Structure 1
Amino acid sequence: MKPPHVMSVNLGKGVPRPYASGPTTAIDKGPVPEGTLVEIRDPGSKRGGLGSGLVGDDIGDRRHHGGAQQAVYAYAREDQQWWEEQLGRALPPGSFGENLTTLGVDTTHALIGEVWRLGEVVLRVEVPRIPCATFAGHLGVRGWVRRFGDAGRTGAYLSVVTPGVIEPGVTVEVERPDHDIDLLLSFRAALGDLEAATRVLEARVLHPDEQVWLADKVARRRR
């Protein structure tokens, strides 16, 4: 059995779509050919930065997507296969807009601050994926935002600690921090679960910008 690895590296070009939240969307991503080297870099700030952490990948809505804390999106092939059973249709790698389709990596229960080593590239787990209207429009599934939220199979947004190049098949070595705040708990917190949000905020494991965002959200909810 192969160790945990990246099954597919996926890139997308921005195109106009009626469901896009920005002028274009690059959510419809496709795998690069086997043996293709893809450069990973820190894209900088969400507004005014480079957008995606992968060279050759576009971000259509810079207000809500891309930037340092959402530089790379990874989704587990195992979760994609679960959705194939639920929806009764094929969902090839890249169909969730993910940059990395992984095998043997638990992206739902990855811990905030967890480090992934992909050869020379080092990534850090930051936040879960929050479903949006563009995601729903892309898949064409009625009630998708709520359905995805209920399932909690979020995938992982990662920042770039050490840039470099990767290719499909690269092994993923995981280093987990000494706490129990995972992406699923953070996801529930972002969707309005005050108990989950309190645990996440008290742990102080989020990036400072994400800590402020969640604290403001909780304060508004309590008011």
Structure 2
Amino acid sequence: MKLLTVNLGRAEAVGWTDAPSGTTGIHKRPADGLVRVVAPGPKGVGASGLVGDAVCDTRHHGGDDQAVYAFAREDLDDWERELGRTLPNGAFGENLTTLGLDVNGALIGERWRIGADLVLEVTCGRIPCRTFADSLGEKGWVRRFTRRAAPGAYLRVIEPGEIRAGDAVEIVHRPSHDVTVSVQFRSETTERELLPRVLAAGDALHPEALAAARKYVTRQSSAPKPGGRPGSAGH
């Protein structure tokens, strides 16, 4: 398991983003040499965890719980075959292009050590947005990407460090629950009935995803039961 590339984006003006600045950093390219990775700060204030990487719409992207985005080269290869086009590392806006690592099968709260010092923790899957769709120019992209349920993983920084292409990735902690990135993604998109299950991931889950799951469970528990009053046993 290793990093193929560490990818950084520069802010560029485009006509299709809904970011207030009219710019995007989604077009990421492999960086040369060492890249420092740190916790960037709360969402809305902090941007990317990678020094030198642009996040242009901090309303929806970046911050401590989405500091780093990882996507597997194997999944890019699958999309290359389906789309019939070349997808270089960084094509999906990922910071880390990995090889030999089951990114979508990673558990929420799973921790990866990369290089000598960096430790990251998996928080959730990536929800496709308009900027992602428009950057690729593929018809029905959001629907197609969602149906695949292989979204790649967002991670928070537990211990900062410097990384470079070729660094080994080691899984140093795996939680005891069974909530994977793919399961969490499906719960938020196509299979809402999975939301109670994702609560097992606890505070390791991205705070917004955790709040959504708790809200769903509360609403379900207070809904009228067949033949009974709200909260009754149905007798």
Structure 1 residue aligned with 2:231: none
Partner of 2:29: 30
Matches within 5 A, 1:130-141: 130-141=127-138
Equivalent residue for 2:40? Answer: 43
- Correspondence for 1:151 among 144, 148, 152: 148
Paired residue for 1:214? 213
Tell me the equivalent position of 1:88: 84
Partner SS for 2:123: strand
SS of the equivalent of 2:142 reads helix
8 Å Cα contact 2:196/2:213 also seen in 1: no
Total equivalences in the alignment: 217
Look up the match of 1:14.
11
Distance change in 2, residues 1:43/1:149 (3 Å): same
Uncovered stretches (5+) of structure 2, i.e. residues with no partner: 224-235
Q: 1:15 to 1:115 in 2, by over 3 A?
A: same
Write the distance in 1 (CA, Å) between the matches of 2:160 and 2:103: 21
TM-score by length of 2: 0.87
**1:84 partner SS:** helix
Calculate the TM-score normalised by the size of structure 1. Answer: 0.92
- What is the letter of the counterpart of residue 13 of structure 1? R
Question: 2 CA distance for matches of 1:89 and 1:13?
Answer: 23
Tell me what 2:228 maps to.
none
Q: How far, CA to CA, are the matches of 1:57 and 1:219 in structure 2?
A: 39
* Pairwise CA distance, 1:209: 4.4
Q: Which runs of 4+ in 1 moved over 4 A?
A: 217-223
Whole-angstrom CA distance in 2 between matches of 1:161 and 1:202? 20
1:79 to 69, 75, 80: 75
Residue segments in structure 1 that go unaligned for 5+ positions in a row: none
Q: Deviations over 1:79-137 (max 9, x none)?
A: 00000000000000000000000000111111000000012100000010000110000
How far did residue 199 of structure 1 move?
0.8
Q: 1:167 Cα shift?
A: 0.7
Structure whose alpha-carbon radius of gyration is higher: 2
Does the 8 Å CA contact 1:194/1:218 hold for their aligned counterparts? Answer: no
Root-mean-square deviation over aligned CA pairs = 1.8
2:198 to 185, 197, 200: 200
